Amino acid sequence: MSLAPFKVLLFDCYGDWETGMLENVSDLLKQPSAPEREKLFEVVGAIENRTQDETPTMIYSDVLTKVYSETAEKLNLNYDDSQAKAFGNSVPSWPSFPDSPDALKKLSDAGLKLVILSNVDNKSFEGSNKRLENGFQFDAIYTAEKIGSYKPSLKNFDYAIENIKKDFGMNKEDILIVANSKYHDIQPGHKKDLKACWIDREKASMGVSAYQDVIPDYQFSSMKEFAEAIVKDKGGQ
């Protein structure tokens, strides 16, 4: 199925969120009773999802602070408030995937509209976005803080659809979700009749491992592979 019809790409897949989290919970992981990666993310994911659902207007840095402290308590690990706060403020230090900057530049140069639909707060996204500086800019940025709720709430996708229509004059059929999380992006996107491309990041766990029955419309192993495919389908190089 050709990718040529799509004109707007709705992103939340350029950042290596799990590596960023792991690098910033080192004080927990070095404790003798610390769990393996999969178990840690199982706990972190459940606490994060519940917190975002119960307090949809809490900004993401505060969500992460709460996630850190509750994760430590649930796993009987030692922590202090300063560590939790540092984790909450750590998003700007989280790395992008190595292929993301060049892929996004290629997509932008091909004339595609690049739109962020992210669960972060505005300040955290600004810091994260600086890691992608590569001669392009996102055409629109819709954060959870701006919308007042977190994905997978359908409110976030309604907001994106409405504002893409208003800002660019484009409709649902012009939009392609490009993401790693089946829970946060692909499954709710399908509920709004949006097509979705899954970027199958190696070892990704949160929002992925428990959702094997969620089938994307397209699938690629990297942003680089996806960018090459859609540009080719559109008749480019």
Residues labelled catalytic? 12
CA distance 97 to 12: 12
CA distance 154 to 142: 14
First and final C-alpha spacing in the chain: 19
Structure tokens at 235: 């008749």
CA distance 103 to 112: 12
Q: Which of 168, 233, 185 is nearest to 8 (CA)?
A: 168
CA distance 199 to 184: 13
DSSP 186: I
DSSP 11-73: EE-SB-HHHHHHHT-HHHHTSTTPPPHHHHHHHHHHHHHHHHHH-TTS-HHHHHHHHHHHHHH
